[in-house]
Structure 1
Amino acid sequence: MGSSNLWDAEWEVSGELAGKLIAAQFPQLAHLTIQQVGYGWDNTVYLVGDEIVFRFPRRKVAIDLLHMEGKLLPQLETYMPLPYSKPLYFGEASLEYPAPFLGYPYLTGKFPIGLTDEQRTGSVPILAQFLKRLHAFPIDIANENGIQHDHRNLTDLASRKEKMLSFLSDLSAHISEEDHLAIANYLDQLNIEPVQPRHIFLHGDLHFKNMLVNEQGIVSGIIDWGDMNIGHPACDLNVVYSFLPPDARASFFAAYGNVDEETKRLARLIAVYIPMLIWMQAIDDKDAEVAEEAKTIIARALADR
């Protein structure tokens, strides 16, 4: 997109540096192979051996987020009906690297890219139970550990719309006229009346690059919890629109519990907002597969309006 993007790294973590840091602090792992398996906005990810994944911050903003993961994720275990990224190794900042880093058990599965509607519908009971349990986590425990509150201000629909119009302008040279028109029409008709704040424990960044599915295409794990926060449940419920086909949404809400129309409005907005950002990054990275998935997600989110 441009020379300076939201997802650009402030420092890179090479395989050599990652291996050196792991060997120094966890010598029992020093003999294992190490390979980079990906990166997100905030972290570079390495697989150590076949069973441990280490995440190394690549931006300063990720440092506090990783500290929060280290404190809170172990406390989620009794609330989790799905495998998730529970840290096992707690690396500390040093002269060689200015940030903490965490090691987690490797969760098998793949990103839910190119799934059929039937496969997606098969995950309805699992996703509903996962979010129902997660959203029941006591916020007093989260607050005691210093969790952030709606740090991205996702309930401000007017501000969100303004940003999305800017994203659409950046995307315009790279997407079809049909896709551009569909998003523009949605934003033009968007109700931007303020949403009442809610105070629920959230994953905070629930999208297809933070979800894993098994060989049958059923959700099998949730990763990357760096954006955990207290906020509006619509932030996580965006998956009802981004992940599930329209015909499966009523079944999800029946299993999860009553969700009001205001929450649905915000959830759909976030289900368009996040893939727009992912689409922009995919274009910048020349990742055609992820760009196509982001495009498909937006179309799904806007369906059955």
Structure 2
Amino acid sequence: MRTPPAEVAVTAGLVAGLLRDQHPDLAGLPLVPCSHGWDNVVLRLGDDLAVRLPRRGSAAVLAANEQRWLGTVAARVGFPVPAPVRLGRPGRGYPWPWSVVPWFEGRVAASLPSAERGRLAGPLAAFTARLHVPAPGDAPANPVRGVPLASRDARVRERLTGGRVPRADELLRLWERLSSAPAREGPPVWIHGDLHPANVLAPADGAPGLAAVLDFGDLTSGDPATDLAVAWMMFDAPGRAEFRAERERLSPVDPATWDRARAWAVSFGSLLAASTNEDPLLAAVGAHTVDQVLGPDRP
């Protein structure tokens, strides 16, 4: 799973020009490149802000999704999220919308030993409970997140029979059992869509709580089981038990939803476990997820 090539070269000079043209009051702040991810380029802007720009056309749709909806979600969840504070438009040859967002200090949860992630279990359960409420009728509908498991069956089987995923036979048997769980009933709810340890920030000083939940490009309406896969992607068995207990206390989840969540963890874990060393952090998340979904404990 290689990072796709950028379709536009996003440089500090380009971003500085866009800021001068569209947000001149911010143009004098230091601008430091930080990351070139799968979909976006991020540059830190001063001490408290960042500029986030799509690097591919398909990611521009995700950026527009965040601009349209993330402010509403931020007000509901009560946890730090990168809701845009300024909106950018195409210019200087750059063709897509872009955003100025808050900068959050912290440690990516994926970089922590799994046992240390347990301190995030309660806060992350609270985040999902607040997020997973019925979405409005015009909310986005992602074609591959929050959807019935049957619609992902062919793709998961293809991956698990492709010879690149460890313990693929075990995962396929588990997928076949879990993917037959009853489909969700009831209205679609808001879901993050890409909730995993690389999109969660822990406080750098080890304090309790969440420093931030990041990357809402896949924010959509659908089945909350997609997000609850984080129980296996983030935690070991004790952390997962704490996550489930707190989530059940705040907003009960039926057994079929937990089964679908574990199936989603099979899907996500196998995808990441097949990653090349080009992204070792995500590959490690995949390996952890595979070990956890095949463990003996219930969700």
Shorter-chain TM-score: what band? 0.7 to 0.9
Deviations 1:63-86, CA, capped at 9 Å, x for gaps: 233223222222234322311112
Question: Taking structure 2 as the reference length, what is the TM-score of the superposition?
Answer: 0.85
1:59 is matched with which residue: 31, 40, 56? 56
Deviations 1:195-214, CA, capped at 9 Å, x for gaps: 13541011121112211111
In angstroms, what is the RMSD of aligned CA positions? Answer: 2.7
**Could you tell me how far 1:155 is from its partner in structure 2?**
3.2
2:278 is matched with which residue: 274, 283, 286? 286
Q: Which amino acid aligns with 1:259?
A: V
Partner of 1:221: 212
User: Counterparts of 2:28 and 2:207 in 1: how far apart (Å)?
Assistant: 34
Structure 1: segments with no counterpart, 5+ residues: none
User: Counterparts of 2:159 and 2:7 in 1: how far apart (Å)?
Assistant: 22
1:38 is matched with which residue: 29, 35, 53? 35
User: Counterparts of 1:132 and 1:238 in 2: how far apart (Å)?
Assistant: 14
Partner of 1:240: 231
* Of 12-21 and 203-212, the range deviating more from structure 2: 12-21
1:1-305 matches, within 5 Å, as 1=1, 7-94=4-91, 96-136=93-133, 139-140=135-136, 143=137, 146-152=138-144, 154-170=146-162, 172=164, 179-192=167-180, 195-196=183-184, 198-215=187-204, 216=206, 218=208, 219-247=210-238, 248-249=240-241, 250-281=244-275, 283=276, 286-303=278-295, 304-305=297-298
User: Counterparts of 1:253 and 1:30 in 2: how far apart (Å)?
Assistant: 43
SS across alignment from 2:44 = strand
* Of 35-44 and 221-230, the range deviating more from structure 2: 35-44
Task: Report how many aligned residue pairs link the two structures.
Answer: 291
**% identical equivalent positions:** 27
User: Counterparts of 2:171 and 2:5 in 1: how far apart (Å)?
Assistant: 26
Deviations 1:154-199, CA, capped at 9 Å, x for gaps: 4332342321233335562xx65xx444434433544435613541
**Could you tell me how far 1:21 is from its partner in structure 2?**
1.9
**Could you tell me how far 1:95 is from its partner in structure 2?**
5.1
* Of 185-194 and 155-164, the range deviating more from structure 2: 185-194
User: Counterparts of 1:43 and 1:234 in 2: how far apart (Å)?
Assistant: 26
Q: Which amino acid aligns with 1:228?
A: L
**Could you tell me how far 1:116 is from its partner in structure 2?**
4.0
User: Counterparts of 1:85 and 1:295 in 2: how far apart (Å)?
Assistant: 28
Question: Taking structure 1 as the reference length, what is the TM-score of the superposition?
Answer: 0.83
SS across alignment from 2:110 = coil
**Could you tell me how far 1:232 is from its partner in structure 2?**
0.8
* Of 86-95 and 16-25, the range deviating more from structure 2: 16-25
Instruction: Rate the CA distance shift 1:151–1:188 in 2: closer, same or farther, 3 A.
Output: closer
SS across alignment from 1:35 = strand
Instruction: Rate the CA distance shift 1:169–1:32 in 2: closer, same or farther, 3 A.
Output: farther
